[in-house]
Structure 1
Amino acid sequence: MTALLTARAAALPGLAGVPLTGAVYRNLVLSPEAPGADRLTVAADLAVQVAGYDDYPVVYPRRIDLARAGDGWQVEHEESTSGPPALWDLGAARSAAGAHCLVLGLADGPTLAALAALGDHAAPAVSELWGTAWPGRLLLELPATEAQFARLLEADPTGWTGMAAVTVAAPGAPWHTPADRVLVNPETYRALSDFGRQVVLTHETTHVATRADTRAWTPLWLSEGAADWTAYRGSGRSPRQIAPELARDVAAGKLPAALPADRDFAAGAEGIAQAYEQSWLACRLIDRRYGPQRLVAFYRAVGAGDGAGEDRERRTDRLLRAELGVGLAEFTRLWLDEVAALGR
């Protein structure tokens, strides 16, 4: 039995095109076997490690159905038992390697190589601002359809329509593992311009690079705003070009009263585009008034220490004063001035 599963792990059909350090089944638990039974079920963890990207094995709980074959057994069926499926559960995975990234995809052709090229541009650009404490490499996953994208997120597909990519943690690995996955929505991604695709990849790369500095108490307006600020920095685009939905709202006399709340970023939320644009504008304000390194320092200060027991708004106010010399109320006023300026 062990020899059978060891041989299967080494030759999983969906993983044939993926560079691996290893793939192995472990923690095997066999169902009770009735005398003379022709079928047997095994619960096991499939531990997979992508070469050069996974510092720890990624673990997928599996159910494996075996059927008797002569004097031995053969695998009849295998499926995931908890958590999202693996990319290769949805089809044979292929790969394209760049200097700073690896793309795993279900769709063959030039898309994988083009995505790798964008990742190769994004990683150094992010390191220039955020430093080199992160590994400086990306693992990108490209399913073939939006429905598959939603399955890999275990989400309702309708809630993710229009979302081009999302950064997800590798399942079954320690929380601090650096090899986060960027999962790309193929249908939304294909509809973007070359510039839009680069913005999306640089945005998600920023999330990967700042994972160690991002905590549950980090406001989403800061984490999403910093990612967009990094992605658009040096693009030469005007604020109205970067924040068109917000500019239209301002022109119509519809102005926000406060920085975006976390709920404003939920997939499918009304006004989600404006929430991202407002957040970009907040981080751009810090950059313009205090410089990019002060924004980076403020971001890291928010994520430092143990903020779980402190009111988030009070913590943000305290750290704004310590890092930038303004409280939350004053910062919000300055930001609202920036928002209003979009209409002038």
Structure 2
Amino acid sequence: MTNLPPRSGDGRPVLSRRAALLLAAGGLAQLSLPLLRADARPAAAAAPGAAPLRPVVEDLLARRAQALIGLDRAALAAGTAPAAQPDQQAALDRLAQVPFAALAYRLTGFTEPPPEADRITVTAELDHRLTGLDDHPATLTRRLALVRLADGWRLAEDGPVGAPALWDLGTVRAVRGAHCLVLGLAEQDRVAELAARADRAVPDVDAVWGDAWAGRLLLELPATEVDFARVLDVAPEAYQGIAAVTVAAAGAPEHTPADRIVVNPEAYRGLSELGRRVVVTHEATHVATRADTHAWTPMWLSEGVADHTAYLGTGRTARQIAPALAQDVAAGRVPTALPADAAFTAGTERIGQAYELSWLACEVLAREFGERGLVGFYQDYGRTGRPASGESPDAVLDRVLRGRLGIGAADFTRLWTAEAARLA
């Protein structure tokens, strides 16, 4: 959903795919979890008569950034305290395969220390772009410790604030495909398999959404489910069984192709070939539709079009794609309203039915009005769906439906309700 941060009323992240489906036909998730930034603090004035330290620190960090992007061990060592040399040289090894196009530190938290200080801690934003992927820098927040030595200030520590970089967690292996780049901490063959799957997903997405999007994917594959949660800066238990999420790169403008698909290695490993296809194509759809997705785009529509795209051509029947909904209908519980955004909150009862009903509603739109009709409706919702003052979500839906497809919300509801009843 254009990588905006959906949240439930109690502040919990909204899941984009239930874990239950993962072990069947393949579930998936799209969340927008923008990385936290440290609040900038005004620099205090230097002590009377003392030269300000801030320019010295900025120069040190600029030289460090150049050493990292150039993989220059000598330059890195020149700006590093002796005790920190082993860790910093190991850090260089971990990111050696990451194809940086640009990398720079920006101080965001700095206070001029007293003249006698021999150690300070600062915060900075690490802006970086990856070659061929990022049109705008992505941002990570870092905490750095510096120490005063006989010949000047040197770096002693560089660690994450909030979400870590992938290279903070292990040695990154990079595989570039025709349409993607995969950065992984897993074995090389697993990273390559994910790249091959992403390359197949892009043409599948193009077939529905056209080539107006960038047509390229960036995927990250941590080594463990715990690391998956750490990259997202969330509690591990909240994402057990979630195969993948799409996150907006912090620091990039809203509607730019700077999304990262982060894959849960343990959940993904347990999927069938079909499940993996559905997961990656679903997430690729979220990347492709980012520019058309806004805060007012309903979750059922955002998730429904992603599932619709992902299941096209799989040969799965409606009952296979929507088993929980079919069971409900067989028991006489035929839905009468599209799911509200809150229905997609992690742990919500009947979340499975919410996803399945979303897929079914978009499937009906595509059947009745063609793929172009579904795509046009989605794009129109982004352009014209911002609610007017006092306008309800139902009224917005009715307005956008009539404007694009010439059908009202009541008639649309009858269509998908009838389709749901046939699942029995």
Above 0.5 in TM-score? yes
Higher-Rg structure is 2
Which of 72, 79, 91 is residue 159 of structure 2 equivalent to?
Answer: 79
Structure 2 residue matching 1:291: 3-state secondary structure: helix
SS at match of 1:49: strand
Following superposition, the deviation at residue 165 of structure 1 comes to 0.9
Partner of 1:116: 195
In structure 1, C-alpha distance between the alignment counterparts of 2:239 and 2:313, rounded to whole Å: 29
Distance apart, 1:144 and its partner CA = 1.5
Asked if 1:54 is matched to 2:134, the reply is: yes
Aligned CA distance change for structure 1 residues 270 and 306 (closer, same or farther; 3 Å): closer
Residue 324 (str. 1) matches residue 380 (str. 2): no
* Alpha-carbon distance between aligned partners in 1 of 2:368 and 2:232, rounded to the nearest angstrom: 38
- CA RMSD for the aligned pairs? 1.8
Paired position in structure 1 for 2:60: 4
CA distance in 2, matches of 1:254, 1:298: 28
Mapped to 2, the partners of 1:283 and 1:221 lie a distance apart of 9
In 2, Cα distance between the equivalents of 1:29 and 1:251?
Answer: 59
The Cα of 1:186 is off from its aligned counterpart by: 1.3
2:167 corresponds to which residue?
A: 88
Task: Report how far residue 242 of structure 1 moved.
Answer: 1.1
Q: Taking structure 1 as the reference length, what is the TM-score of the superposition?
A: 0.93
**From 197, 205, 209, the counterpart of 1:130:** 209
How far apart, in 2, do the equivalents of 1:329 and 1:140 lie? Answer: 40
1:165 aligns with 2:225: no
Residues in 1 aligned to 2:241 and 2:108: alpha-carbon distance in whole angstroms: 41
Report the residue type matching 2:127 in the other structure: A
How far off is 1:260 after superposition? 1.2
Residue 231 in 1 paired to residue 310 in 2?
yes
Find the aligned partners of 2:371 and 2:301 in 1 and give their Cα distance. Answer: 14
Q: Contact 1:160/1:268 (CA < 8 Å) preserved in 2?
A: no
For residue 302 of structure 1, report the CA deviation from its aligned partner: 0.7
Give, in angstroms, the shift of residue 84 of structure 1. Answer: 2.7
Q: Structure 1's 298 and 256: CA in aligned 2 closer, same or farther, altered over 3 A?
A: same
Equivalent-residue separation in structure 2 for 1:306 and 1:216 (angstroms): 10
| Residue aligned with 2:105, SS | strand
Task: Name the % identity.
Answer: 56
**Equivalent residues in 2 for 1:196-207, closer than 5 Å:** 196-207=275-286
The one of 253, 271, 275 equivalent to 2:332 is 253
Counterpart AA for 1:172:
G
Question: Per-residue CA shift, 1:81-138, capped at 9, x if unaligned?
Answer: 3x53322232232211100000111223211110001110111111121111110000
Whether the 8 Å contact between 1:67 and 1:75 is mirrored in structure 2 is yes
Higher relative contact order (CA 8 A, sep 6+): 2
Indicate if the aligned counterparts of 2:252 and 2:258 stay in contact, CA closer than 8 A.
no
Letter in 1 for 2:300: W
Code of the residue aligned with 1:17 in structure 2: it is Q
- 1:272-292: CA deviations, max 9, x gaps? 222111111111111111111
Instruction: Name the aligned partner's letter for residue 284 of structure 2.
Output: T
SS at match of 1:342: coil
2:146 to 45, 66, 84: 66
Equivalent of residue 117 in structure 2, options 19, 31, 37? 37
Q: How does 1:328-343 map to 2 (within 5 A)?
A: 328-343=409-424
> Can you give the 5+ residue segments of structure 2 that lack an aligned partner in the other structure?
1-55, 69-90
Among 190, 198, 223, which residue is 1:144 paired with?
223
The normalised TM-score by structure 2 is 0.76
Q: Give 1:202 deviation, angstroms.
A: 0.4
Other-structure match for 1:312: 393
> Quick check: 2:138–2:258 contact (8 Å CA) kept in 1?
no
How far apart are the structure 2 equivalents of 1:67 and 1:316?
Answer: 59
Query: Distance in 2 between the 1:225 and 1:130 partners?
Result: 14
Structure 1 residues 108 and 73, CA gap change in structure 2 (3 angstroms): farther
- Measured against aligned partners, the alpha-carbon deviations of 1:214-256 in whole angstroms (never above 9, x if no partner) come to 1111111111000000001111111111112222222233322
Question: Aligned partners of 1:280, 1:219: CA distance in 2, in Å?
Answer: 13
Is contact 1:30-1:40 (8 Å) kept? no
The number of residue pairs the alignment matches comes to 342
Alignment equivalent of 2:351, drawn from 267, 272, 277: 272
Q: Among 253, 273, 295, which residue is 1:216 paired with? A: 295
Which SS does the other structure have where 1:104 is aligned?
A: strand
